[in-house]
């Protein structure tokens, strides 16, 4: 948002002498020293100019991901051909159908969507549709293949994931931890995504301070005088767009940074009175070995038996099941369950706000990691409102266009911000040239 306090009048015609611009009209706001404001404006401006291009790419790439489910269903309409019978296939039977037809395929998840079973690999690249009624495979598709996969790799991983298009090996290297436990195992790509979230958060907070016109002049903060000079028009448009988008920018900055740096989420919970012990409840890497009394032994209990154990712990409807990693004996089944109390992810293929792990060898070994169980009000607010807001998946695709519009707002902020900066730079150079001419004379 603009660094200037009030609009400057049009520059008068030069007559050979240096004329001073008239003082701004209206009451002078107190309580924020002008030098402090100028320093904050300078920091805001240069951080936006230096990091803005990366932040712009990052946020723009997130817009197509808002409509991932809708795009997949549209591009793979022939895959959705469900028939309905009294003896429908279970999730475990659907996985068996795909395994029999494609022995080399390693299933990573099974999802119920639009009446179909979708059996996918661990990264949602390749998906097979299985009709629960007839038991036949209706086709295959790619959720994160091609363009969507590239957007996912940029937006979520900073090009550090080898599982999606656009992978850059260097970005998968881990950053120096300097003895800080929170930085252990963080890749350059993840660090970049997290830093961009922090930058967005700081730009939004400083923008609020720079925008604030005071209570008596609050209406002027939402004014755009299109008939004025380019500088005045673009500066005021920058301020208005920025302040209207502030709730989304703050939310995206916080959740984006916290997804890469969990200590940021913990700090948020400390400030809001939450329980930091539940801060990393969305982790997919919970190992049952942490509370085992012996090494895992026996046969895999199977998806269907594990799902019954999960539903006995958290009531609702299972929409998505992540399968254990065949190469890791400590990995487990993860069930995402839409609870009767409401699901903020209800409008997506990946629905489910109750997350339950079930031991692949022991149906009695169950752990709830997400779903409001034992959570404080602050934890529930973050897990059920703030974090889901990042995706907008609790509203239909039409309403999600609002998220898309605000996701593209940095484009307009960048254009108007650069425009006002260029005008200021040109005028500053002109003043310097005039001073040099007067000194020479």
108-122, 172-186, 267-281: the lowest-pLDDT one: 267-281
Structural domain boundaries, residue 294: 280-375
Last residue of a domain, one of 124, 139, 173: 173
In a domain, 59, yes or no: yes
* Residue with token string 């109750």: 354
Domain contains 199? no
Give the Cα separation of 249 and 254 in Å (integer).
8
**Ranges 1-5, 201-205, 294-298, 379-383: which has the least confidence:** 1-5
User: Model-level pTM?
Assistant: 0.82
Flag whether 412 is in a domain.
no
Cβ–Cβ under 8 Å, residues 130 and 93: no
* Residue 34 confidence (pLDDT) above 80: no
**Residue 24 domain flag:** no
pLDDT in tens, 156-183: 999 999 999 999 999 999 999 888 888 8
- Average predicted confidence (pLDDT) for the chain: 85
Domain boundary at 173, 198, 217, which?
173
Q: Identify whether 261 is part of a domain.
A: no
Structural domain contains residue 338:
yes
- Asked if residue 153 belongs to a domain, the reply is yes
pLDDT value at residue 328: 81
Q: What are 288-297's pLDDT values in tens digits?
A: 554 554 556 6
Residue where a domain stops, chosen among 145, 173, 201: 173
CB contact set of 281 (below 8 Å; sequence gap of 6+):
355, 369, 370, 383
Separation of alpha carbons 437 and 441, rounded Å: 6
Report how many domains make up the chain: 2
User: What HEC string does the chain produce?
Assistant: CCCCCCCCCCCCCCCCCCCCCCCCCCCCCCCCCHHHHHHHHHHHHHHHHHHHHHHHHHHHHHHHHCCHHHHHHHHCHHHCCCCCCCCCCCHHHHHHHHHHHCCCCCCCEEEEECCEEEEECCCCCCEEEECCCCCCEEEEECCCCHHHHHHHHHHHHCCCCCCCCCCCHHHHCECCCCCCHHHCCCEHHHHHHHHHHHHHHHHHHHHHHHHCCCCCCHHHHHCCCCCCCHHHHHHHHHHHHHHHHHHHHHHHHHHHHHHHCHHHHHHHHHHHCCCHHHCCCCCCCCCHHHHCCCCCCCCCCCHHHHHHHHHHHCCCEEEEEECCCCCCCCCCEEEEEECCCCCCCCCCCCCCCEEEEECCCCCCCEEEEECCCCCCHHHHHHHHHHHHHCCCCCCCCCCCHHHHHHHCHHHHHHHHHHHHHHHHHHHHHHHHHHHHHHHHC
pLDDT digits (tens, 9 = 90+) for 300-345: 899 999 999 999 998 899 999 999 988 887 888 999 998 887 788 8
Segment 64-101, tens digit of pLDDT: 999 999 999 999 999 998 888 777 899 999 999 999 99
- Residue 211: what pLDDT? 93
């Amino acid at each position: 948002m603009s660094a200037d306090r009030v609009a400057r009048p049009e520059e008068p015609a030069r007559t050979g002498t240096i004329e001073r611009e008239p003082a701004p009209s209206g009451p002078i706001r107190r309580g924020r020293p002008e030098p402090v404001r100028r320093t904050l404006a300078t920091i805001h401006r240069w951080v936006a100019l230096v990091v803005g291009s990366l932040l712009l790419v990052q946020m723009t790439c997130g817009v197509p991901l808002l409509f991932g489910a809708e795009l997949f269903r549209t591009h793979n309409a022939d895959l959705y051909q469900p028939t309905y019978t009294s003896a429908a296939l279970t999730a475990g039977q659907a996985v068996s159908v795909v395994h029999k037809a494609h022995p080399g395929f390693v299933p990573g998840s099974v999802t119920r969507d639009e009446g179909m079973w979708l059996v996918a690999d661990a990264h949602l690249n390749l998906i097979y549709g299985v009709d629960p009624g007839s038991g036949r495979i209706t086709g295959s598709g790619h959720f994160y293949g091609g363009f969507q996969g590239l957007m996912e790799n940029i937006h979520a991983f900073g090009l550090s994931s080898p599982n999606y298009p656009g992978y850059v090996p260097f970005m998968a290297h881990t950053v120096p931890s300097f003895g800080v436990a929170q930085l252990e195992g963080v890749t350059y790509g993840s660090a970049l995504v997290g830093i961009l979230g922090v930058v967005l958060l700081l730009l939004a907070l400083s923008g609020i301070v720079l925008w604030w016109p005071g209570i008596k002049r609050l209406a002027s903060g939402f004014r755009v005088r299109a008939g004025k000079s380019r500088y005045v028009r673009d500066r005021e448009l920058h301020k208005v767009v920025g302040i209207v988008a502030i709730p989304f920018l703050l939310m995206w900055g916080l959740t984006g940074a916290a997804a890469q740096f969990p200590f940021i989420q913990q700090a948020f919970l400390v400030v809001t009175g939450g329980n930091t012990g539940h801060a990393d409840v969305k982790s997919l890497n919970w190992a049952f070995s942490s509370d085992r009394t012996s090494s895992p032994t026996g046969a895999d209990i199977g998806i269907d038996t594990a799902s019954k154990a999960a539903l006995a712990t958290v009531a609702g409807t299972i929409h998505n099941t992540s399968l254990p990693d065949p190469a890791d004996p400590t990995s487990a089944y993860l069930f995402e369950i839409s609870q009767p109390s409401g699901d903020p992810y209800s409008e997506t293929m990946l629905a489910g706000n109750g997350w339950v792990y079930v031991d692949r060898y022991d149906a009695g070994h169950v752990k709830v990691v997400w779903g409001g169980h034992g959570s404080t009000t602050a934890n529930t607010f973050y897990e059920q409102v703030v974090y889901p807001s990042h995706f907008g998946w609790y509203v239909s695709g039409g309403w999600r266009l609002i998220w898309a519009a605000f996701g593209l707002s940095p484009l307009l902020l960048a254009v108007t911000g650069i425009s006002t900066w260029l005008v200021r730079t040109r005028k500053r150079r002109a003043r310097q040239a005039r001073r040099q001419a007067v000194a020479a004379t």
